[in-house]
């Protein structure tokens, strides 16, 4: 049995995966704040998962953990996971002594990409585009996660697509993330509310001019990311996931309209059939935790295969 965890800013999703690839159990817990509480959450989630399917924790073969922030290649050290209150944490060092099971750590977007690929039938290559506070993608080619030379593959959020666009917190103007990142949209909207991007959509529907600009920017940023991913890596499928995709059909309608506009203007863009390549990750999908489980169980972490 292999276990995978997706440690998110509010909740942690844990799955147990049988050798045949089927999910045997799943639990969700609130995520603690700060390095110690995050490590505690990981131990608690594994314990609860083992209990829920009636196995001893020690019989788990491997644990993979997807986390926001930067994971130093080849290590289990996470840095700058700001949404978790973690500046630096060696997760394996913190939890392996208690769990007694080998732990691997991967960036959550990369883990979700591998999991989305494993859950998808038919894709030979896929980009998973995460639309959350920030924007980043994970790319899977022939079942293999493409990490790149220095681990920045898929960082499409910081590609500028408009030199006169809004200032990005990275310092450039018109980055895809400055247009389509939930954090950037909330900052520019600058009104109180639990779900600022949803508020922007509602206000745009009600005719608010600033909301319309922000909503249009979101759609054009997502469409730009899709174009970048297809024109550079030529993945056959782009799966959208992350918090903003809770807007589901409203978001997809805007993105489809953007892609249709460029297809109408350009026979070349039309030939790429971008609209048919974009899909939404289903709400509640265990993709990220499943991908983490696959990474945890891979013989060689650089060769983590999605199937088998």
Which residues bind to a copy of itself, rule: CB under 8 A? 124-125, 137, 139, 141, 146-156, 158-164, 168, 170-172, 220, 224, 227-236, 262, 265-269, 272
Give 32-65 as a DSSP string. PSSHHHHHHHHHHHHHHHHHHHT--GGG--EEEE
Tell me how far, at minimum, the Cβ of 203 lies from a copy of itself, in Å: 23
Tell me how far apart the alpha carbons of residues 285 and 130 are, in angstroms, rounded to a whole number: 13
Of 68, 134, 57, nearest in space to 100 by CA: 57
Tell me how far, at minimum, the Cβ of 135 lies from a copy of itself, in Å: 11
Which of 231/253 has CB closer to a copy of itself?
231
Q: Are 133 and 80 in contact, with CB atoms under 8 Å apart?
A: no
Which of 95/269 has CB closer to a copy of itself?
269
Tell me how far apart the alpha carbons of residues 62 and 243 are, in angstroms, rounded to a whole number: 28
Which of 7/224 has CB closer to a copy of itself?
224
Tell me how far, at minimum, the Cβ of 124 lies from a copy of itself, in Å: 6
Tell me how far, at minimum, the Cβ of 9 lies from a copy of itself, in Å: 21
Tell me how far, at minimum, the Cβ of 67 lies from a copy of itself, in Å: 19
Which of 10/271 has CB closer to a copy of itself?
271
Backbone φ and ψ for 164, nearest 5 degrees, come out as: -100, 10
- Environment class of residue 266 by beta-carbon count within 10 Å: exposed (0-12), middle (13-18) or buried (19+)? exposed
Which of 163/284 has CB closer to a copy of itself?
163
* Strand partners for 167: 173
Tell me how far, at minimum, the Cβ of 72 lies from a copy of itself, in Å: 13
Which of 76/125 has CB closer to a copy of itself?
125
Which of 62/262 has CB closer to a copy of itself?
262
Tell me how far apart the alpha carbons of residues 75 and 85 are, in angstroms, rounded to a whole number: 20
Tell me how far, at minimum, the Cβ of 71 lies from a copy of itself, in Å: 14
Which of 30/265 has CB closer to a copy of itself?
265
Give 14-30 as a DSSP string. EEEE-TTS-EEEEEEEE
Backbone φ and ψ for 55, nearest 5 degrees, come out as: -120, 160
Work out the angle at residue 200's Cα, subtended by the Cα atoms of residues 199 and 205, and round it to the nearest 5 degrees.
95
Which parts of the chain are beta strand (E)?
2-7, 11-17, 23-30, 62-67, 70-71, 77-81, 86-90, 103-107, 125-131, 135-141, 144-146, 237-241, 278-280
Tell me how far apart the alpha carbons of residues 190 and 100 are, in angstroms, rounded to a whole number: 46
Of 257, 272, 180, 173, nearest in space to 225 by CA: 180
Tell me how far, at minimum, the Cβ of 270 lies from a copy of itself, in Å: 9
């Amino acid at each position: 049995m292999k276990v995978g965890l997706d440690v998110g800013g509010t909740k942690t999703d844990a799955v147990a995966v049988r050798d045949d690839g089927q999910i045997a159990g799943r639990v969700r817990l609130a995520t603690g704040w700060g390095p110690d509480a995050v490590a505690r959450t990981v131990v608690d989630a594994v314990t609860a998962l083992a209990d829920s399917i009636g196995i001893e924790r020690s019989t788990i073969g491997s644990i993979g953990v997807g986390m926001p922030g930067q994971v130093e290649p080849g290590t289990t050290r996470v840095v700058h996971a700001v949404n978790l209150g973690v500046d630096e944490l060696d997760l394996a060092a913190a939890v392996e002594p208690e769990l007694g099971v080998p732990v691997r750590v991967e960036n959550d977007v990369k883990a979700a990409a591998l999991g989305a690929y494993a859950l998808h039938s038919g894709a030979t290559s896929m980009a998973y585009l995460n639309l959350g506070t920030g924007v980043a993608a994970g790319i899977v080619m022939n079942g293999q996660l493409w990490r790149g030379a220095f681990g920045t593959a898929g960082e499409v959020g910081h590609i500028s697509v408009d030199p006169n666009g809004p200032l990005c917190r990275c310092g450039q103007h018109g980055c895809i993330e400055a247009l389509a990142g939930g954090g950037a949209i909330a900052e520019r909207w600058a009104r109180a509310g639990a779900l600022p991007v949803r508020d922007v959509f509602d206000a745009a529907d009600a005719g608010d001019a600033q909301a319309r600009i922000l909503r249009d920017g979101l759609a054009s940023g997502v469409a730009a990311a899709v174009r970048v991913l297809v024109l550079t890596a030529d993945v056959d499928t782009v799966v959208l996931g992350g918090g903003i995709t809770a807007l589901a059909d409203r978001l997809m309608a805007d993105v489809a309209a953007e892609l249709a506009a460029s297809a109408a203007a350009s026979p070349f863009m039309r030939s790429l059939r971008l609209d048919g390549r974009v899909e939404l990750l289903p709400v509640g999908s265990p993709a990220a935790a499943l991908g983490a489980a696959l990474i945890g169980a891979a013989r060689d972490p650089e060769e983590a295969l999605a199937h088998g």
